[in-house]
Structure 1
Amino acid sequence: MSRDTMLRVICYDVSSDVRRRKIARILEDRASRVQFSVFETRMTGAALARLVRDVEAHLGKDDSLRVYSISTTSERHCDTRGGLPIEPQGAYWLM
Structure 2
Amino acid sequence: MFKRLFFAMLGLGAGIALGIFVVRKLEATQRALRPDNLAASAAARAGGVRSRWATAVEAGRKASEQKEAELRAVYRASSAPQER
TM, length-normalised to structure 1: 0.20
Larger helix share, 1 or 2:
2
**Bigger Rg, which one:** 2
Q: Which has the higher contact order (CA 8 A, sep 6+)?
A: 1
Larger strand share, 1 or 2:
1
TM, length-normalised to structure 2: 0.22
